[in-house]
A and B are shown apart, each in its own frame.
Chain A
Amino acid sequence: MKKETMKGLLPAVMMFVSALSATQPATAASNQETQGGQTPAVLRFKAPTEFPESEKLQQYVNGVASETGYIMRAPVGGPHCATISGSDGGWDDSDCF
């Protein structure tokens, strides 16, 4: 992509801050360093990587999608999962405030 085009896609207020921000370290990297790679207790319990749904639920979802014009997308991290944050399934219960 041409430089001019890229510039055109930056919001107007950006013109004043890009040079300053380029020198700031990434927050995630800093945290990783200061915590020495430790993780909180809850991260020991990662969910199963696959969430098999019943055929009945799959049929229901396909039916709703067909009736409503919803285009089923290819699952990113495995099949849809009921209500689990991080499942990439679109069924998460919360908005993760």
Chain B
Amino acid sequence: MKDLRIAIMTVEMDLHAYAVRKALRDRHGAVCHIVETDCFADSGRLTWSPTESFAPTLPAREGREIDVRSLDLIWWRRPNGTSWQPPHGPKMPPGVTDEVAVDIIAKDCKATFTGIMLNEFRGVWINNPEASRNAENKLWQLRAATQAGLRVPRTLISQDPASIREFCRSLNNNVIVKTVTGTYKVPLSPGKVDEALLASDESLRLSPAIYQEKISGNRHLRIQVFGDQIHAALITCDQLDWRFYLNKSTVEPYSLSSDFESRIHTVMRLLGLRMGIFDFKLTPEGDPVWFEVNPQGQFLFIEGLSEVKLTNVFTDFLANEVVGQRARAVG
């Protein structure tokens, strides 16, 4: 495609970003920048003015500077500047040690970056920042899944010990508990509720958690949705949470019914997403039961384990989004 200019907003050492950049260059001749949102401090490249006297710029990898107005599409992948490496914050120059200095630098970089993007970018968002942030919320996405007519496990999100006990006992304690958001500080796993957990008022009251009917079986679906395209993978794993046991899992392409695909698209529309990575579990009867959608979920490991060329599919999707926008602009 002619003059395709894309930026990937992510954090340092993001393998997905590198893979997609290469495919965009190879398949579409695109100019693709990687902007590392955890590396703004001391970059000297974040600039904006309400007049046109200064170009709105961002720093990109390899010391480049991007004029945001020149971009056709932004992959809004990891915009929060939260590094994957401890201490999970923006990177600071070694000489910056003052806690307050770190806080101000991090917040001012992030606010300026966000403001530049909102003010100056006029191309295609994948995904729209507000939609993406909202869709991360498990309560919000559970409502959308229900509205789309998908089968959702019986669920309670609460910190009220009495309600939690009532819900769990209604299911004979065949219930999983999991965090509402997760944390970078420590990897957590969903766990099976037991009497000891339910006995601690103090523990239950501290924060809400997701209490959800346990779905039996060993077949899980990981569903990649890129615009109109859906690519599903079947993950077979005997463990409750396959993520920890990929070495004991098999991954293969899987076909979905058209009715189910239609409901997935409905969720995407309700959440305002253009891309999303869904997790379902199949009941022993083969019915898919909703777990969650990750607006910016990972997909390279599915490619690595199933050999479905998702990187190419994804980059073609990005290029087509720009084609569509250009056509709309002309029409």
Given the known interface contacts A13-B104, A40-B206, A97-B133, the answer about A92 and B98 at a Cβ–Cβ threshold of 8 Å is no
CB-based contact A95/B136 at 8 Å: yes
Q: Does A32 contact B (CB under 8 A)?
A: no
Query: In the assembled complex, which residues on chain A have CB atoms less than 8 Å from the CB atom of B277?
Result: 93
Given A45-B177, A82-B246, also A90-B15 (CB < 8 A):
yes
A85 partner, pick from B22, B105, B182, beta carbons under 8 A? B182
* CB within 8 Å for A96 and B209 given contacts A9-B93, A46-B189, A70-B18: no
Q: Are A97 and B301 touching (Cβ within 8 A)? A: no
Whether A39 contacts B243 by the Cβ 8 Å rule is: no
Residues of A within 8 A of B29 (CB): none
How many Å lie between the Cα of A50 and that of B215 in the bound state?
Answer: 25
Check A29 for interface membership: any CB of B closer than 8 A.
no
Query: Are A10 and B188 CB-contacts (below 8 A) given A40-B203, A64-B300, A92-B84?
Result: no
Quick check: is B14 within 8 A (CB to CB) of the other chain? yes
B272 interface residue per 8 A CB criterion: no
**Among residues 253 to 306 in chain B, which have CB atoms less than 8 Å away from a CB atom of chain A?**
277, 294-298, 300-301, 303-305
Task: Considering the complex, give the chain B residue whose CB is closest to the CB of A92.
Answer: B84
Determine whether the beta carbon of B191 is less than 8 Å from that of A97. Answer: no
B101 x A85 contact (CB < 8 A): no
Cβ distance A93 to chain B, nearest Cβ, rounded Å? 4
Least CB separation from B197: chain A residue: A41
> Which single residue of chain B is at the shortest CB-CB distance from A63?
B304
B301/A91 in contact, CB under 8 A: yes
Question: Do A94 and B182 contact each other (CB < 8 Å), given the known contacts A46-B189, A48-B244?
Answer: yes
B14 close to A42 (CB less than 8 A):
no
Interface positions, chain B 80-123, Cβ under 8 Å from A, are 80, 82, 84-86, 93, 95-101, 104-105, 108
A window 52-94: CB within 8 A of B: 52-54, 56-57, 60-61, 64-65, 67-71, 73, 76-77, 81-94
18 A-B pairs (CB sep. < 8 Å): A21-B100, A41-B203, A44-B203, A45-B191, A47-B241, A54-B247, A60-B305, A64-B15, A68-B19, A69-B18, A73-B13, A76-B86, A82-B301, A90-B14, A93-B298, A94-B297, A95-B79, A96-B181
Residues of A within 8 A of B (CB): 1, 5-6, 9-11, 13-14, 17-18, 21, 35-36, 38-48, 51-54, 56-57, 60-61, 64-65, 67-71, 73, 76-77, 81-97
B interface residues with partner A (beta carbon < 8 Å) = 13-15, 18-19, 21-22, 78-80, 82, 84-86, 93, 95-101, 104-105, 108, 133, 136, 177-179, 181-191, 197, 200, 202-204, 206-207, 209, 241-244, 246-247, 277, 294-298, 300-301, 303-305
